[in-house]
Chain A
Amino acid sequence: MTNDSLVVEQRWDLDVKPQNSLFSLNLKDVWSYRDLLWLLVRRDFVSFYKQTILGPLWFFVQPLLTTIMFTLVFGTMGGFQTDGLPKPLFYLAGITAWNYFADCITKTSTVFKDNANIFGKVYFPRLIMPLSIVVSNLVRFGVQFLLFLLVMAFYVIKGTDFHVTWAIALFPVVVVLMAALGLGAGMVISAMTTKYRDLAFLLTFGIQLLMYATTVIYPLSTANEKYKWIIAANPMTPLIETFRYGFLGKGSFTWISFGYSSLVTVVLLVVGIIIFNKVEKDFVDTV
């Protein structure tokens, strides 16, 4: 026992306890695993078009067909207003933005279930997984956005009357907000579905329903006065409106609604990360 006093103070790099403080988020740990993030994104991208001939072009197909469908069903048959914009352009703008958000939220919400196998065998900061999902989808979004630009160029050449506005400068912010919103909400849902999977069923059609409460197939300006507040309360609405306003010059943009969206996003993201960090520690036991 006398030897103990002679032992040099032991240095520890890691202390694992049952519960850490709510706000120890290990963001430094996440940073040290950044290579993994890129490799996961690469994996998602490469494995998507392996053994296909068209390769990344397949990213075009879904928004293109959806746009044609919406143009036919809502635009032509339903007679929905599109703020005077060419219908395909109007829908494509909405679909491109909405898809990104929807993909982020749905993929993130099942992150624990989908990766239970890896998570159960090896430790790395779990936050890397949802982050890689958001970045992977960003690649997809980039390709689809290119399609949107092509269609835009087509209408410019055709001489259709629309113009970009200063709000186009907000585009990067809009993308980041959409990603953060999808990520935050997705993480909250993912944390809630590790033990009880009920919410996962709700999400699949919930996202579809939410699309109709967002200004994807109609502009906010034509929304029914009675229900307008519901649509405006949806944090995705101002983002899509800003996107359209920036690129196509039509849409209801106000700083108040934009600020509201940003605030909701930041709150959801922070709450999402905290809950996610709390759950990741032993979700393996219950998933």
Chain B
Amino acid sequence: MALAIKATNLSKAYQLGEIGTGTLSRDIERWIAKVRGKEDPFLKIGEANDRASKGTSDIVWSLKDIDFEVKEGDAVGLIGRNGAGKSTLLKLLSRVTSPTTGNFKVKGRIASLLEVGTGFHPELTGTENIYLNGAILGMRKNEIKRKFDEIVDFAGVERYVDTPVKRYSSGMYVRLAFAVAAHLESEILIVDEVLAVGDAEFQKKCLGKMGDISKGEGRTVLFVSHNMSSIASLCNKGIVLKNGQVQIQASANECINYYYNTDKSNDLSAQWLPKQDQVPDPVFSLKQASLVGADFNLINGGAADANSLLYLVIEGDVKELNPAMKIGYELLDQKENIIFSSLSTDCPVDTAPVIKLGMNKIVSEIPIKFLHPGRYVVRVHVSIHHHRWICNPRDNKVILNFELWKSDVPSQNTEESIGIINIDHNFVNTYL
């Protein structure tokens, strides 16, 4: 298939620090160098974008010699930490700023959504803002007129179209703004993390709309998000950026795996170890709790694929056998709803693990395939039943967390289903 975007040696340098008198003298120096046909003296000493270490130069390369190609109809997810250059790349592609070196070629019209509601004027009514915002995003008036009803319908603000948007609730405002952008008819759509706004239901609606755009209408989409689940569900291709350079360019699932594998900066803790100062319990002392994957290694960067396996491993030293001792865990979602609570004694007697004196290592599979993508917390608890806590989950002492994402599995549904859990179920037609 033909290419939609092709970038060669694309770089962008930014100047650090304030612009003041010192900048003027340097500008003059640069200008003299340019007039004499020499290379820019300040660009040469630039270095890769590593925010943590203080560099020696005032010039920093947000992007350095990037090469990539995007095929027509691809949905490409841009993955990387904050400061990896994702936003700079989007800015370049949306032509908000120009590259320092290199170039890129584009086939078709580009519409970019770096922010929702750019150019909305608070005093103007919903209708007026739809037209204005549409035109700013590059739509012709007739195009907007044709899509007007669809936009209003999608945003669900029909009653308010003649009211100034300053009287809108922030949710309505964002919905309207996204609705305008979602109805752009450009061949290429560039989307920054604008979906981080609005309520969960609307976010799903937006993701669904984006899915329609890329899968249904076959348009090219470039999408930046920190949410791997939405990248996995929306995109078929991915690009991983780090310090302004392309790490890999592959399928979305490969990219997500690569990102989780190499980027340990996640705040997700897949392992819990006791601290020195904890007083050991006379009956049981917890030595370690960890989340491991199918290969029994700690999960990569705290992320688990819902189409794979996830185990909770609890290791502890039993000093005194007590038949009332129960080991278990609770699974909580991001909003701290307990999805389920499970105990080692829940299993039938013949399959329940037998606790022995000394070190025990109890393994339990967490049924992640029934979960929606997102962040989850595992709280380990140990107790002497009806007597006392050895490890109270309410203390939030032994907690592990992981991020669940779903490698792309073909389904007719582009939207996530509703509900706390995500049952993997069948529908069968029995042809009466």
Contacts and interface: CB of A to CB of B under 8 A. Distances in A.
A12 B99 contact: no
A50 interface: yes
Interface stretch (B130-138, B146-154, B271-279, B356-364): B130-138
A39 B132 contact: yes
Given A46-B124, A121-B96, A122-B94, A13 B24 contact: no
B353 interface: no
Given A10-B3, A17-B103, A39-B135, A46 B94 contact: no
A195 interface: yes
Contact of B98 (A33, A117, A196, A281): A281
B97 A284 contact: yes
Contact of A43 (B6, B19, B92, B124): B124
A201 to B, nearest CB: 15
Nearest to B118: A121
A70 B42 CA distance: 54
B158 to A, nearest CB: 22
A142 interface: no
A263 B92 CA distance: 38
A14 to B, nearest CB: 4
Given A33-B138, A122-B119, A14 B106 contact: yes
A212 interface: no
Interface string A1-34: 0000000101111111111000000000000010
A121 B115 contact: yes
Given A10-B3, A195-B23, A281-B97, A122 B136 contact: yes
A264 interface: no
A225 interface: no
Interface residues of B, number: 47
Contact of B105 (A14, A118, A281): A14
Contacts of B137: 122
Interface string A52-91: 0000000000000000000000000000000000000000
A18 B140 CA distance: 28
Contacts of B110: 14, 123
Contacts of A40: 132
A16 B97 contact: no
B344 interface: no
A224 interface: no
B313 interface: no
Given A35-B135, A43-B128, A121-B115, A16 B104 contact: yes
B24 A50 contact: no
A47 interface: yes
B136 A11 contact: no
B141 interface: yes
Contacts of B92: 16
Contacts, number: 113
B397 interface: no
B52 interface: no
Contacts of B112: 121-123
Contacts of B296: none
Contacts of A18: 98-103
A43 B94 contact: no
Interface string B196-217: 0000000000000000000000
Tell which of B95, B97, B102, B115 has the most Cβ of chain A within 10 Å: B97
Contacts of A154: none
B393 interface: no
B122 to A, nearest CB: 9
B109 to A, nearest CB: 8
A124 interface: yes
A87 B392 CA distance: 90
Contacts of B19: 195-196, 286
B135 A33 contact: yes
Interface of A: 8, 10-19, 33, 35-36, 39-40, 42-43, 46-47, 50-51, 117-124, 195-196, 281-282, 284-286
Given A50-B123, A121-B112, 18 more contacts: A10-B107, A12-B106, A14-B107, A16-B104, A16-B105, A17-B103, A18-B101, A19-B98, A35-B135, A35-B139, A35-B141, A39-B141, A42-B132, A43-B121, A43-B132, A122-B94, A124-B136, A281-B97
